[in-house]
Structure 1
Amino acid sequence: MDKLSKSHEDYLEAIVMLGGTTERSVRSVDIATKLGVSKASVSKALTFLKENGFVDQPYYGDITLTEAGFSYGASVLDRHQMLTEFLSKVIGIDEDQAEKEACIMEHAISDESFEKWEAYIRTLNL
């Protein structure tokens, strides 16, 4: 599977952040609030994510993640948290700025580059 768009990654990340799993559902209104988007935008994104096997949602029901969706969303969230922590605690960037920049970086970095960066960071015993 190719990498999803930044927007679709943000939706999966938001669902995980809201506590969504393969067993625990979240409401579309909560996703809209979390991302600051309209319910129509959430509906459109969920249609794509359903068609591609990342979420399950009965007609007008709450959203649960598939195994693939949870794995992908948790991975994006982990990247975000690691990058934010690195930028703020290691490099000394203001926490709000680190949060914003980590959000950009989490989508831009390839899986291969992130894995190598992560392996390097782990050698530092931070």
Structure 2
Amino acid sequence: MEKISMSHEDYLEAIVMLGGTTEQSVRSVDIAAKMGVSKASVNKAVSTLKEKHLVDQPYYGDITLTEEGYEYGTSVFGRHELLLKFLTEHLGIDPEVAEEEACQMEHAISDDSFKKWAAFIKKLDA
């Protein structure tokens, strides 16, 4: 799957966090509120995500994820959750700081490095 920008990954993750799937749509106003951005920013990002076939949106309608978009969004969200858990539970980092840092780390780590790191963490938790 082709990598997209950190910002666009954040939009996919937000849609997943709001309960968006290939069947369940979300409103752009809810995405804007969740991300603390304007509705215009959401519309611009959604246009790009539509071009990349990651979301569907009928003219001024609600937004659903394509299969590829759902897979990508849940992957980003899963990375975030595992990183957040590691930072808070294993390292004792303040949850607010860990939330921000997990968000940065989820984009920066390669897929291969993340898989190896996740396997290592699973051994720790076993």
TM-score in terms of structure 2 length: 0.97
Deviations 1:8-41 (A, max 9, x none): 0000000000000000000000001111111111
Question: Partners of 2:25 and 2:2 in 1: how far apart?
Answer: 25
The correspondence of residues 50-69 of structure 1 with structure 2, limited to 5 A, is 50-69=50-69
The correspondence of residues 11-26 of structure 1 with structure 2, limited to 5 A, is 11-26=11-26
Match of 2:46 in 1: 46
Match of 2:107 in 1: 107
Gaps of 5+ in 2: none
State the shift of 1:3 in Å. Answer: 1.1
Matched residue pairs, number?
126
Deviations 1:29-86 (A, max 9, x none): 0001111111111111000100111000000000000000000000000000100010
Question: Partners of 1:4 and 1:92 in 2: how far apart?
Answer: 31
Gaps of 5+ in 1: none
Question: Partner of 1:124: helix, strand, or coil?
Answer: helix
Percent identical residues: 68
Question: Partners of 2:58 and 2:33 in 1: how far apart?
Answer: 21
Match of 1:2 in 2: 2
What's the RMSD between the two structures over aligned residues?
0.8
State the shift of 1:2 in Å. Answer: 2.5
Q: Which segments of structure 1 move beyond 4 Å, counting only runs of 4 or more?
A: none
State the shift of 1:124 in Å. Answer: 1.3
Question: Partners of 1:95 and 1:34 in 2: how far apart?
Answer: 18
